[in-house]
């Protein structure tokens, strides 16, 4: 996101509305801010070099002690601050991965954390943006689309140019930018908590997902069908790999190459809801080097929301 010349840059923030099934129905996690004496969705400003999803997870941990996994996005809030700057807050729905701390890190900022039923949350929340997020979460629940799993199509990071590499396409490596992208990917992708990694066996793809797999303790499964040569020879087999991943509806990262993306995207389009399908890339290069296409998929194997994220390398 770039600043407009002559205007102060926007303030960027992120948060998540975590939910769980309690004994008396669905509950959401809210925080009390003593400075404003109000109840709010956990959120906070991005740190330098941080992505929106990573910031959302970090802020929930700091304000509540809960580490969450992000599900599908909720409506963003955009409003003016008293000093004239624009503030943009990106939100997601989320579920708890673990309790990592007893409570808020800074009691002066957040002094109470509560799980409350949806009806009670509607009464407690005072900010319009928070109310919109809560209403959207209710709608997802009514549509039976509240639970989603992430399927992440990852284009490999920036690679050394073909003109500078004479040792074969399979072994063409990432360049310095691509290596930085690979190192910056884990906190972005981890926010969605995928549980498997599938990649083209070519070096630039494997190198892109290696840092993520190492940190997450995941094994990289390679598929020749995801390579450029495998796709050129048998695009139907590439389609079959993607269809299998979508059918399994399990949190998965799929790393591949730009020339393979048209087949991947067409396979996704067939199982995406119309509103989600409109968010799919439509023309070459489809994704930038290192960019991730996040597919939020229901257990019924329907893609209900799509996001695009680049690792932040400054």
pLDDT for position 116: 97
In a domain? residue 3:
no
Q: Is 211 exposed, middle or buried (0-12, 13-18, 19+ CB in 10 A)?
A: middle
| Cα–Cα distance, 32 to 126 (Å, whole number) | 11
**Do 190 and 130 have their domain in common?**
no
Q: Is the residue at 2 inside a domain?
A: no
- Are residues 130 and 156 both part of a single domain? no
Among 121, 142, 163, the domain-final residue is 142
The list of the chain residues with pLDDT below 50 reads: none
Q: Of 142, 161, 187, at which residue does a domain stop?
A: 142
Spatial separation of the C-alpha atoms in residues 88 and 118, rounded to whole Å: 25
Task: Assess whether 96 and 245 both reside in one domain.
Answer: no
Residue 307 contacts residue 71 (beta carbons within 8 Å): no
105, 221: one domain: no
- Which one of 115, 142, 169 terminates a domain? 142
pTM over 0.75: yes
CA distance to 89, 144, 210, 309, per residue, from 259 (Å): 34, 35, 21, 19
Query: Does 184 lie in the same domain as 219?
Result: yes
Residue 166 lies in a domain: yes
Domain of residue 233 covers 149-309
Same domain, yes or no: 298 and 155: yes
In a domain, 269, yes or no: yes
Same domain, yes or no: 233 and 257: yes
- CATH at 57: 3.90.79.10
Question: 68 and 89, same structural domain?
Answer: yes
pLDDT at position 2: 52
Number of domains in the chain: 2
pLDDT at 65: 96
Residue 4 lies in a domain: no
252 within some domain: yes
Same structural domain, 116 and 196: no
> Could you tell me if 163 and 129 lie in one domain?
no
What CATH number is attached to the domain comprising 296? Answer: 3.40.50.1240
Residue 47 lies in a domain: yes
Instruction: Indicate if 283 and 195 belong to the same structural domain.
Output: yes
Q: What is the pLDDT of residue 141?
A: 96
CA dist 145 and 141 (Å) reads 6
**Which residue matches tokens 């009806």?**
119
Whole-number Å distance between alpha carbons of 266 and 274: 13
Residue 278: per-residue pLDDT:
96
pLDDT for res 166: 84
Residues 167, 127, single domain; the answer is: no
Using CB atoms within 10 A of its CB, is residue 241 exposed (0-12), middle (13-18) or buried (19+)?
buried
């Amino acid at each position: 996101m770039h600043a407009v010349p002559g205007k102060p840059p926007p303030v960027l923030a992120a948060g998540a509305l975590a939910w769980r099934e309690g004994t008396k129905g669905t509950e959401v996690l809210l925080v009390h801010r003593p400075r404003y004496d109000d109840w709010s969705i956990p959120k906070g400003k991005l740190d330098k070099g941080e992505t929106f999803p990573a910031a959302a997870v970090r802020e929930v941990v700091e304000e509540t002690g809960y580490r969450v996994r992000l599900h599908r996005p909720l409506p963003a809030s955009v409003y003016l601050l008293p000093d004239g700057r624009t503030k943009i807050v990106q939100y997601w729905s989320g579920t708890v991965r673990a309790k990592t701390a007893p409570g808020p890190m800074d009691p002066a900022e957040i002094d109470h954390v509560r799980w409350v039923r949806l009806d009670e949350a509607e009464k407690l929340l005072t900010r319009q943006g928070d109310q919109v997020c809560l209403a959207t979460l209710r709608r997802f629940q009514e549509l039976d689309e509240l639970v989603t799993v992430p399927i992440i199509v990852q284009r490999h990071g920036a690679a050394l140019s073909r003109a500078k590499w004479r040792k074969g396409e399979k072994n063409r490596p990432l360049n310095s930018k691509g290596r930085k992208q690979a190192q910056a990917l884990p906190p972005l992708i981890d926010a969605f908590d995928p549980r498997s990694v599938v990649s083209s066996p070519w070096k630039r793809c494997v190198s892109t997902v290696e840092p993520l797999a190492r940190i997450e303790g995941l094994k990289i499964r390679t598929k020749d069908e995801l390579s450029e040569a495998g796709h050129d020879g048998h695009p139907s087999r590439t389609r079959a790999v993607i269809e299998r991943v979508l059918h399994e509806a399990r949190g998965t990262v799929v790393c591949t190459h730009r020339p393979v993306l048209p087949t991947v995207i067409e396979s996704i389009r067939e199982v995406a809801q119309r509103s989600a399908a409109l968010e799919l890339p439509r023309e070459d290069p489809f994704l930038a080097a290192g960019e991730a296409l996040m597919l939020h998929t229901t257990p019924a194997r329907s893609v209900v929301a799509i996001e695009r994220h680049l690792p932040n390398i400054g």
